[in-house]
Structure 1
Amino acid sequence: MKMPLLLAISALMTINPAAANPPDAERKPFTVTTPFGASRQDDYYWMRDDERQDPAVLGYLEAENAYANELLAPLKPVQEKLYGEIVARIKQDDSSVPFRDHGWWYYSRYEAGKDYPVYARRKDGQGVDAISIQAANEAGDFAAEQVLLDVNELAAGKDYFSVGDYEVSPDNSLLAWAEDAVGRRQYTIRFRNLATGEVYPDTITGVSPNLVWADDNRTLFYVENDPETLLTVRVKKHVLGTPAEQDQLVYEEEDDSFYMGIGRTRDDKYITIGLDSTVSSEVRYAPAADPREFRVLAPRQRDVEYDADHHGGRWVIRTNADGATNFKLVTAPSDATSRKQWQDWLPHDPEVFIEEYELFDGFTAVGERSGGLERVRILRADGSQQYVSADEPAYSMGLSVNSEPDTQWLRYGYTSLTTPATTYELNVATGERRQLKQQPVPGYDPSRYATERVWVEARDGVRIPVSLVYRKGFRKNGTAALFQYAYGSYGISMDPGFNGPVVSLLDRGVVYAIAHIRGGQEMGRTWYEHGKLLEKQNTFNDFVDVTRALVAQGYAAPGRVAAMGGSAGGLLMGAVANQAPQDYKVMVAQVPFVDVVTTMLDPTIPLTTNEYDEWGNPEQQEYYEYMLKYSPYDNVAAQAYPAMFVGTGLWDSQVQYWEPAKWVARLRDLNTGSAPVVFRTNMDAGHGGKSGRFRRFREQAEYYAFVLDQLGVAEEP
């Protein structure tokens, strides 16, 4: 006899919340005040420890980890099975598509069973190209290879390790790289002689992973971080062989709402300093051959954003100036210092968002968004143009690594929820297209899966695009489980790209959905503008409305919906959990930004001042009151919450660990339901989780097992 659906679901449950007692964090009253006199009580403010050394705080985090271990112990077999499936879809000795630069072909590769990449290069020559190098790597022929960095060796014996950036000097003789052994994104720069392998004693600490060599092959430009806020505050230059304390200050930014980065232009003629806030930009430039004085390309102005590159004797600038909400392209002479010198080239289109561009000798490639999807437009020197084609209803497409401008071949990437990441190159003169590589996914057959794009009408009448994927044979009869993901902040678009671990969900009958909600930029710049500041509630409404529509249309059963978001997407999870807990069976919030008001009131916390134009400045009463209405931590209520899996990293520099810690403590105080709340802290990791390509999949397998258990999904595919 067939069991009723809900009975069948409950029969699959293996977690028993009564089997363990969750930690009961001590309350210590603390008043958080604002400059205009408002105040709030925060009983868990004591959990903030900037040094990460307080025994009481560490003890609480360890107690939560112990509780998580006990609660999830019955799911260990499922975790191991999921981990095995996920790792089995990874080609362990894979390598990237090589690209040519200054007479060498560069790539990264992995060795079987190892967590970290090897960065290497091969000398250009007769018969040497991307395809032949990939074939040699596939065959294990590394005789002609020069290893730049073996990150496995550098990471040996360390709990965390990451190489954030590396740069080879213009004469190909020296390597500079930035490494992080903590996970807090405070990097250390080191140097190596590529001919001898010697590592020089020069060491520069407390920097961002952003490096640029000058033409003299001895001078390196880098960006120094503020040690407390971690903001990028100073550009300095280091001359190899001299003490770092003597490094010369090149530029210092006094406005702490700006981020800073450095680069070289397309034609290698200039070194640039890029300064960006949420609503304003500025570019400074100096000749790479003699970078002593940096000139301003165009002075910063509020609500005017721009980025610039130089090629063909002119600047090409992407900007939203003069009402170009979706951005336009303009040009300027090489000695430009003012917007008055800008000339429109590719005009603004209210239906097309210009996202990126790449300059070549005979054409320009433009990455755009239209109708919620990406496309690549080719602009030829003769004025003609064409679009790169796509074959699926929901996909992601964008410019790939195009390291040299003197070519007819354009590289671009293509992927979808069913198509693994693929790198193509297109000859813009002949139309010939060739596939350079598709991400190998052992055991995966794309013909077994289907993807579609649907539109959902939000409560205010705006149509929200949603990308879906499921295993073929799925029936839209209202019985399936749904796993819905979104982000919805900073204008960052969550495009429908292939996700190997998700296949384990699909094979168990789960429908996977990406909700392209406001706050991202999938539908153009206004999509972002209507999902931030005093319109942030649209982000949360969109997510909930998508869920309700998908359930109403039969994609899922009402009691079988999971939701997930991370970082600012964790804020989304926290707000939705407070506002619509009944719509979700289980939620995953990774490194969640949940204590919005307290964090934004404290300018000493990394990233706070940079983001007043994203969330609002709560020192102003209007923004304070609005943020207070949705801040997850402040709105935890006496109600039944979904099952929750909350993850954080002790050394997270972007969302401090104490935000989710406090949130979970308050959830434990007020939650009237019986669904489990799991809080997992990685004691040796930062915002991106543990380092290494396999370790993070163990974390993913853990919360996947938790989600599947709560949804009542069978353990076997």
Structure 2
Amino acid sequence: MVKRFLAGAVCLLSATSAFAEPAPTPPVAAKKPHQVAAPFGAVREDEYYWLRDDTRKNPDVLSWLAAENSYADGQLARLTPLKDTLFKEITGRIAPDDSSVPYRQRGYLYYRRFAAGQDYPVTARRKGAMTAPEEVLLDQPAMAKGKGFFSIGAWEVSPDNRYVAYAEDSVGRQQFRLKVREIATGRIVDETVANIEDALVWADDNRTIYYIDKDPVTLLSKRVKAHVIGTPASDDRLIHEEKDDSFYISLKRTASDKYACIFLWSTTSNEARCAPASGKGEFTVFAPREKGWLYNVDHIGDRWLVWSNHQAPNYRLMSVPDTAQTADRTQWRDLVAPSDTAFIEAFKPFNGFVAIEERVNGNKRIRLLANDGKSTSVAADEPAYTMTLDTNAEPATDWLRYRYESMVTPPTIYEVNAKTGERRQLKRQPVPGYDPAQYVTERVWATARDGTRVPVSLVHHRKFHRNGTAALYQVGYGAYGSSYDPAFNIAWPSLADRGMVVAIAQIRGGQDMGRAWYDNGRLMKKMNSFTDFIDVTRHLVAQKYAAPRRTAGFGRSAGGLLMGTVANMAPEDYGVIVTQVPFVDAVTTMLDPTIPLTTNEYDEWGNPEQKPAYDYILGYSPYDNIAAKHYPAIYVSTGLWDSQVQYYEPAKWVARLREKKTGDNPLLFRVQMEAGHGGKSGRFRRYEEQAEYLAFMMDQLGVAQ
């Protein structure tokens, strides 16, 4: 993969020189006949299919991408002062030498710290107390030096505290390499295993590491293997091979530290396989997978806890004693019964209580359930907020650590005592120059066209007047059951300070209002996600939060599918559309099982090899529904090495939009040549593109500077 990247970089340099001056007119991609056929006989013409180059080395493709970057540079040149101002404002809200709250595990306090001006943190620990000498685990600034992209995924310290195993990606394709470092000496003792997922678990022998091997073509998680430090990767023992390509794989040790578990999960079915963490026993199935049945497990004391949708659309929490046959559901007992109003999303067991993440009325909150059955919810003071469980590495404590934030309140780490209710603030993320008292967050409800009430979280300046003249920045996602929680974003004060309103449309397709919220926004009900977003825009305009056609829509990845479809369905409602790594070529991608993620997602979008699903997806696929119409201004970005939404999806979309759209509204395509799905790496560099597209957005909406 590194060789491929270097070869592509050489081609890019030669291609870029041919487009050194900003192009006065948009690049025009050649049209080449190509047909995409479905198994049942349907055929579509895809004249820009040639822009797909899996090697990332085709000089014609790289030249066209370079021309798009050059054209974007030329069109955005006049906005450089605003972009620089925004970048300075946004990064100015990042504390230059910030550090995390230490957490305790096996006698050590672990934390990470940023030095002033550094893009990457140092991960370190101290034995017993923060006054002890520092031991560096991962000096990421040094490790990232000279790399165009750098990311550390999972890292885990061995049970004897001697080694740190970590997953490293230096391309952006999420094909990690396993490395093992001896902490005391800093010496790398193993780096033979490549192309793995971002998940690692140690066995108790301090020599064996469980990891997930990826398919080199589809990048699907396929096999769980056991690697012994110092032995060749070819000797790694196969633990499990997943034959069903609709399943993902993850790993973890249980809260009790007694078991290592493999989790196999898809949209509609899960399975757990666990073994003693000693590494001496076999992995056995906790309960066999069934279509439509989802569950997750953890272990504490002498019992298993099971989170399950068994006769519970919003999930229930159950207990199974160690002595029971875990697959026999008649032996499972409710700890938290099913609810129509509270959706259980996650849980964390402790010796004396269980912490539960649940969603109620569009907000995520935390509830504490004591072993004696007493239940209490952690209080919040704002109408729209997010609580999430923080790092709680040791279960033998009465204190739960959690994170609280809102669109006004920066991330704040609290501890709450499960017995007394006492709460103490450990840290609030420092945001230099930011005064939360100057901003207001709201929760409003928009009525969708089918009568459904959609939660919307807002933030604006305290001096904002709701008079129907403001510009609106509306964001959304609406897929995979992934909720768009009202969280703090360090860029948004720059919008609110200029009189804008920022809105999170918590549309169907997420799980903001429970599992039914997700089910009503996927498969043959996917259209609800798109109409919800449009109806939220129209509601906010009608309620005078914004002026007509002064709305910017933003979404990334599956949220890019949202943006592309919204642009086709209601271009007159938006002044500008901004989308990153957008999934916009849904039919062609879902017809190709060799593309990463395709087979995993048949239960999300449908399998277009079947005609009903084909026809439904074709009805909204952004690439397939481009027409000769007056689109709003559009900013699109992608990463050449994206493994989740391949760069050629937005490339083809832009090419066809250029051909068909009417009017003079700009269409810009920014290609990050050294990045993947997450964009540029590093805590400062990631905001360079954000400053650029925000400047473009403000300019198109006429936001006063």
TM-score (norm 1): 0.94
Match of 1:358 in 2: 348
Match of 2:220 in 1: 231
Q: Secondary structure at the match of 1:224?
A: strand
Pick from 98, 101, 107: which aligns with 2:102? Answer: 98
Match of 1:140 in 2: none
Match of 1:493 in 2: 483
C-alpha distance in structure 1 between counterparts of 2:28 and 2:280, whole Å: 58
Do structure 1's residue 285 and structure 2's residue 274 form an aligned pair? yes
| 1:117-159 alpha-carbon deviations (Å, 9 max, x no partner) | 11001111xxx3xxxx4xx7xxxxxx72111001111110010
Do structure 1's residue 403 and structure 2's residue 406 form an aligned pair? no
Do structure 1's residue 585 and structure 2's residue 589 form an aligned pair? no
| 1:85-113 alpha-carbon deviations (Å, 9 max, x no partner) | 01110001001111100000111111101
Contact 2:135 2:184 in 1 (8 A): no
Match of 1:166 in 2: 155
- Which amino acid is 1:275 matched to? L
Contact 1:479 1:554 in 2 (8 A): yes
Do structure 1's residue 695 and structure 2's residue 685 form an aligned pair? yes
Match of 1:4 in 2: none
Do structure 1's residue 465 and structure 2's residue 455 form an aligned pair? yes
User: Cα distance, 1:209 vs. partner?
Assistant: 1.3
Pick from 500, 508, 516: which aligns with 1:526? Answer: 516
Tell me whether 511-520 or 332-341 shows the greater mean CA deviation: 332-341
Match of 1:86 in 2: 90
User: Cα distance, 1:366 vs. partner?
Assistant: 0.8
Compared CA separation, residues 460 and 307, structure 1 to 2 (3 A): same
C-alpha distance in structure 1 between counterparts of 2:461 and 2:576, whole Å: 22
Contact 1:226 1:232 in 2 (8 A): yes
Contact 2:181 2:190 in 1 (8 A): no
Q: How does 1:183-198 map to 2 (within 5 A)?
A: 183-198=172-187
Compared CA separation, residues 557 and 212, structure 1 to 2 (3 A): same
Match of 1:215 in 2: 204
Compared CA separation, residues 503 and 95, structure 1 to 2 (3 A): same
User: Cα distance, 1:19 vs. partner?
Assistant: 7.8
Structure 1: tracts of 5 or more residues without a match: 1-17, 137-142
C-alpha distance in structure 1 between counterparts of 2:279 and 2:558, whole Å: 42
| 1:311-369 alpha-carbon deviations (Å, 9 max, x no partner) | 11111000001x21000011223363414332222111111100111111111111111
Q: How does 1:196-211 map to 2 (within 5 A)?
A: 196-211=185-200
C-alpha distance in structure 1 between counterparts of 2:238 and 2:620, whole Å: 42
Structure 2: tracts of 5 or more residues without a match: 1-21
Contact 1:202 1:242 in 2 (8 A): no
Match of 2:426 in 1: 436
Q: Secondary structure at the match of 2:408?
A: coil
User: Cα distance, 1:569 vs. partner?
Assistant: 0.2
Tell me whether 338-347 or 358-367 shows the greater mean CA deviation: 338-347
Pick from 110, 115, 128: which aligns with 2:114? Answer: 110
Pick from 57, 66, 80: which aligns with 1:76? Answer: 80
Q: How does 1:485-564 map to 2 (within 5 A)?
A: 485-564=475-554
- Which amino acid is 2:472 matched to? L
- Which amino acid is 2:75 matched to? L
Match of 1:53 in 2: 57
C-alpha distance in structure 2 between counterparts of 1:303 and 1:451, whole Å: 38
Do structure 1's residue 682 and structure 2's residue 672 form an aligned pair? yes
C-alpha distance in structure 1 between counterparts of 2:364 and 2:376, whole Å: 14
- Number of equivalenced pairs: 682
User: Cα distance, 1:290 vs. partner?
Assistant: 3.0
Contact 1:202 1:244 in 2 (8 A): no
C-alpha distance in structure 2 between counterparts of 1:489 and 1:290, whole Å: 38
Q: How does 1:599-678 map to 2 (within 5 A)?
A: 599-678=589-668
Match of 2:321 in 1: 333
User: Cα distance, 1:382 vs. partner?
Assistant: 1.7
Contact 1:187 1:206 in 2 (8 A): yes
C-alpha distance in structure 2 between counterparts of 1:393 and 1:101, whole Å: 35
User: Cα distance, 1:165 vs. partner?
Assistant: 1.1
- Which amino acid is 2:223 matched to? R
| 1:15-60 alpha-carbon deviations (Å, 9 max, x no partner) | xxx9821000000010100110001000000111111111111111
User: Cα distance, 1:232 vs. partner?
Assistant: 0.4
Q: Secondary structure at the match of 2:189?
A: coil
| 1:265-311 alpha-carbon deviations (Å, 9 max, x no partner) | 01011010000011000000010113441100000000000000001
Contact 2:23 2:71 in 1 (8 A): no
Match of 2:124 in 1: 120
Do structure 1's residue 314 and structure 2's residue 303 form an aligned pair? yes
C-alpha distance in structure 2 between counterparts of 1:471 and 1:193, whole Å: 50
Instruction: Percent identity, please.
Output: 59
Match of 1:27 in 2: 31
Contact 2:207 2:229 in 1 (8 A): yes
User: Cα distance, 1:175 vs. partner?
Assistant: 1.1
User: Cα distance, 1:619 vs. partner?
Assistant: 0.4
Q: Secondary structure at the match of 2:188?
A: coil
User: Cα distance, 1:559 vs. partner?
Assistant: 2.5
| 1:49-80 alpha-carbon deviations (Å, 9 max, x no partner) | 11111111111100000000000000001100
Write out the 4+ residue segments of structure 1 that deviate beyond 6 Å after TM superposition: none
Pick from 312, 315, 326: which aligns with 1:324? Answer: 312
Pick from 359, 379, 384: which aligns with 1:369? Answer: 359
Q: Secondary structure at the match of 1:477?
A: coil
Contact 1:451 1:469 in 2 (8 A): yes
Pick from 249, 259, 263: which aligns with 1:260? Answer: 249
Contact 1:483 1:513 in 2 (8 A): yes
User: What is the RMSD of the two structures over their aligned residues, measured on CA atoms?
Assistant: 1.1
User: Cα distance, 1:82 vs. partner?
Assistant: 0.4
Match of 1:38 in 2: 42
Do structure 1's residue 62 and structure 2's residue 66 form an aligned pair? yes
Contact 2:320 2:326 in 1 (8 A): no
